[in-house]
Structures are given as C-alpha cells and as structure tokens.
C-alpha cells in the first residue's frame, strides 16, 4: 500500500499503518488546522480504506490524542536537553529552556496545535495526560532548582513559578510564533519578548541573574 506526500509516493508495510495515519494527521493540521482533520481524510492521505484506521484508533479524537502524545514526548526531550541540569547557572538555563519552548512551537507547529488546541479531553486519554504531565515535570523540576537559589524570605512555591512561566511562554508562542495568519506582529522578536518577560517576573521574585 502507498500514500502520497509532497508529490512523492511512499509505501508502508504491515505494522506502520499507525505511524502513516499520524503523519497524515500532522500534514492535515499543517495545511488546514485542527478542524481540517477527519478520520476519512487521514485514511485517504495514508492510502487506505476509510475502515482501516479503526485497526489502531477508536475515533478521530484517539488519533489526534496519539499525535499529541508523541508531541509531548518530543517536547519533554527538547525541554530537558535545553535545561542541561541547570548549567552554567539556573537563571541562564531557565531562559534557554524558554527559548527552546518557542523553537518547538515554531519548528513543530502541527504537533503544538495537536497538543494544545485540539480540544481532546485529557481525562479520556490517559497516555496523553501522562505525556503532558511528563513534559510539565521538566519545567517544574527546573523551577525548583531556580527557586532554591532565591532568598529564603519570601521564596515562592516552585509550582507557582513553573505555572507562571509556562503561561508566559505559551502565551508568547501562541500569539507570536504561529505559522498561520493568526500570528500577531511585534516590534521585537518573540524571543526578546519572552526574555524580557522572564527577566521582569523572576527579578521581581529575587531570582539570581545570569
């Protein structure tokens, strides 16, 4: 069996239909957004019958959840690699992790949309929920190290810092790093905006500078 992508015909063998359907879903998201993903179109893109996806996925939500789960797993690896165990300093590593967040949103836009904009309920997809938790755990562990270097008096909870900085990074990524027409314009780069936001927020908490 074969499917066509970017004008190139490819074949799949027994055992990788699941991956072919997930790749077709990513292509659809990139071209049409999350609303453009249908079970039937993913099957057509993968070169199989409309019934074939049911061998691996219960429905459209389960297919998108699988794509999002793979995205979160990759996301966790990216964040962990950028953190580098807090070297050369927690402040520098934390800022570097923020830049890696934006880079992921830009370079893996379809995964990012599946992860955060699909509307798939987490409670109905345990693997997706666990993958999201693993990715956030990287950020929370980094926040714990950063908070440990702040003055003891008034030291904030690490979870609060992780949630606040996650919200800041996600907001910048969602507004200013989009690959579609919904991207807002800025008088600076998204990376500069995030760096300034981190600086103001963390300095206000007494975090050490790089």
What is the DSSP code string of 5-53? ETTEEEE--TT-HHHHHHHHHHHHHHHH-GGG--HHHHHHHHTS-TTGG
Q: CA torsion 127→130→135→138, rounded to 10°?
A: -150
Q: Are residues 48 and 93 in the same domain?
A: no
The residue among 53 and 79 whose pLDDT is bigger is 79
Q: Is the pLDDT of residue 15 over 90?
A: no
Is residue 209 situated within a structural domain?
A: no
Whose tokens are 């970017």? That residue is: 6
Q: Are residues 174 and 194 in the same domain?
A: yes
**1 confidence band (pLDDT: 50, 70, 90):** very low
Q: What is the CATH classification number for the domain harbouring 188?
A: 1.10.357.10
Whether the CB-CB separation of 64 and 35 falls below 8 Å is answered with no
Q: Is the pLDDT of residue 17 over 90?
A: yes
Element holding 2 (H helix, E strand): strand 2-5
What is the distance between the alpha carbons of residues 47 and 38, in angstroms, rounded to a whole number? 14
Q: Are residues 94 and 143 in the same domain?
A: yes
The residue among 133 and 3 whose pLDDT is bigger is 133
What is the distance between the alpha carbons of residues 101 and 117, in angstroms, rounded to a whole number? 16
Residue 68 domain boundaries: 61-204
What is the distance between the alpha carbons of residues 133 and 127, in angstroms, rounded to a whole number? 10
Q: b/e map of 175-193 (b: 16 or more CB within 10 Å)? A: ebbbeeeeeeeeeeebbeb
Q: Is the pLDDT of residue 182 over 70?
A: no
Q: Is the pLDDT of residue 39 over 70?
A: yes
Q: What's the pLDDT score for residue 181?
A: 64
Is residue 46 situated within a structural domain?
A: yes
Q: What are phi and psi of 187, to 5 degrees?
A: -80, 5
Q: What's the pLDDT score for residue 186?
A: 83
């Amino acid at each position: 069996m074969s499917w066509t992508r970017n004008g190139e015909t490819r074949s799949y063998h027994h055992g990788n239909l699941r991956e072919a359907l997930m790749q077709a879903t990513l292509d659809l998201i990139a071209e049409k957004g999350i609303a453009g993903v249908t079970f039937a179109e993913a099957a057509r893109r993968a070169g199989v019958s409309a019934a074939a996806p049911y061998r691996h996925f219960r429905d459209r939500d389960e297919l998108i959840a699988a794509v999002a789960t793979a995205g979160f797993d990759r996301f966790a690896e990216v964040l962990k690699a950028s953190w580098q165990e807090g070297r050369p300093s927690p402040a520098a590593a934390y800022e570097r992790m923020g830049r890696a967040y934006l880079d992921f949103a830009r370079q893996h836009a379809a995964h990012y949309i599946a992860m955060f904009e699909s509307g798939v309920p987490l409670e109905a997809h345990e693997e997706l929920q666990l993958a999201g938790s693993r990715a956030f755990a990287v950020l929370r562990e980094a926040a714990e190290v950063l908070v440990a270097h702040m003055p003891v008096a008034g030291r904030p909870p690490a979870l609060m810092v992780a949630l606040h900085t996650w919200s800041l990074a996600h907001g910048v990524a969602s507004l200013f790093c989009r690959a579609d027409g919904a991207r807002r314009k800025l008088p600076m780069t998204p990376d500069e905006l995030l760096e300034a936001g981190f600086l103001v927020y963390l300095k206000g908490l007494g975090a050490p500078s790089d």
